[in-house]
A and B are shown apart, each in its own frame.
Chain A
Amino acid sequence: MKYLDEFSDPDLAGKLLAQIHAATTRPWALMEVCGGQTHSIIRHGIDQLLPDGIEMIHGPGCPVCVTGLETIDKALAIAARPDVIFCSFGDMLRVPGSAQDLFGVKSAGGDVRVVYSPLDALTIARQNPDRQVVFFGIGFETTAPANAMTVYQARRLGIGNFSLLVSHVLVPPAIAAIMESPRCRVQAFLAAGHVCSVMGTGEYPALAARYRVPIVVTGFEPLDILEGIRQTVVQLEAGRHEVANAYPRAVRDEGNPAAMAMLRDVFEVTDRTWRGIGTIPGSGWRLSSRYREFDAEHRFDVTGVRAAESPLCRAGEVLQGLRKPNQCAAFGKQCTPRTPLGATMVSAEGACAAYYAYRRLDLVATS
């Protein structure tokens, strides 16, 4: 596929790697924020090709991993209702709630459906006017415009049996929270390219200046990631901390104005609890009061849900870059993609699942 294959060319990757090696004189710790980048880094073994001193710390940017346990439990409660068709992206189905997951609800007779796009859920709502159709609206700024547009359409077209269970999370407040943590080791960030396709780069100069960290907007193909790392290392070595865009084919500084206008109309900022991390002030979006009637939390009474994590799971430390997945005692033993104890073992973008898929055999060999 054009504009995918070109950006994984091994010859060019070799050149970028040589430049990174040439530029590096000291150890540096870089965080890739986005789970899609974590997946790409581990899959292509990019971290193993870097100079020894360059450490990639895997950030909290997998929405499946950070969606709050309480939100998952609310989803399970709504999905179990006989009047509800519960629609979700496929990777949410195995995410463990306190007692079970959406697959469990489905096998117990719940009407749980996997959709590719929230618009598919809206179509299902139109086809089933006598049922309540709920879409599980999770994700970062990349996914939020799709969910916003779907609610907007539901209101415009008068589709009253549709609602959204919203748990959006935002990247810039998470970067601030990571830097504020006393145990923080991160010296630079690869910012998530597609988040910036939507939001632009306007929120980053203040973060780069305040925490004195380079922030380089980075894409997802191997060459994109190497170029993001190269630009970051060059800045670190020169003692600079600027915002740079290493993914200009998909990111403009101003973002996507049409999408941002829709987001402002449909959502409002709220405090959000990130699974394994805790509550980060102002780090989420919920439906604004104009759209409250489409909010599944208001439509269905799901208060009083009590959430409890597996006591073995170390996903919180993994998500904050304090521990690598294989440093969790349950990794590959009690916890596998088939029997995940934590959400980071579920989605392909979760660090635990990426290590399990691509590193398990090496890790067993060396342990």
Chain B
Amino acid sequence: MCLAVPGRVLSVAEVDGTRMAEVDFGGVRKDVCLEFVPDVGVGEYVVVHVGFAIQRLDEASARETLAHFERIGILDEEFGGGFTRLAGQAGADR
């Protein structure tokens, strides 16, 4: 039950005075309460736990972290291909 997972906001609507969203989790869609992330909009990523977005998932920092992982092993040239692919994916569906 402790799991919180990232999902992408597809649409936002007001239900009974509460800000709700439809969020896509890699194909599975769920209704999620957005009250705790009031300035998140359609197309952005949120971290969702038991039906509530608890934080915005910051795309820029996700990409930075992946790039940092890559730099960490900068000497391992043979792994170079992996990063190009990841960088492509990270920017792919913006």
Contact = CB atoms under 8 A, between A and B. Distances in A.
Interface residues on B, range: 35 or more
Nearest to A14: B79
Contact of A117 (B50, B66, B90): B50
A250 B57 contact: yes
A198 B54 contact: yes
B11 interface: no
B55 A6 contact: no
Contact of A4 (B5, B37, B66): B5
Contact of B58 (A139, A143, A194, A249): A249
A19 interface: yes
Interface stretch (A204-212, A235-243, A251-259, A269-277): A251-259
Contacts of A35: 2
A259 B33 contact: no
Interface residues of A, number: 59
- If over half of B's interface residues share one DSSP class (helix, strand or loop), that class is named, otherwise mixed; here it is mixed
Interface string B14-29: 0011100000011000
Contacts of B35: 149, 258, 262
A90 to B, nearest CB: 7
A34 B3 CA distance: 10
B43 interface: no
A11 interface: yes
A15 B52 contact: no
A258 B55 contact: no
Given A15-B72, A61-B2, A248-B58, 4 more contacts: A5-B89, A6-B90, A12-B73, A120-B51
Interface of B: 1-6, 8, 16-18, 25-26, 30, 33, 35-38, 45, 47, 49-52, 54-55, 57-59, 61-62, 64-66, 69-70, 72-73, 76, 79, 82-83, 86, 89-90, 93
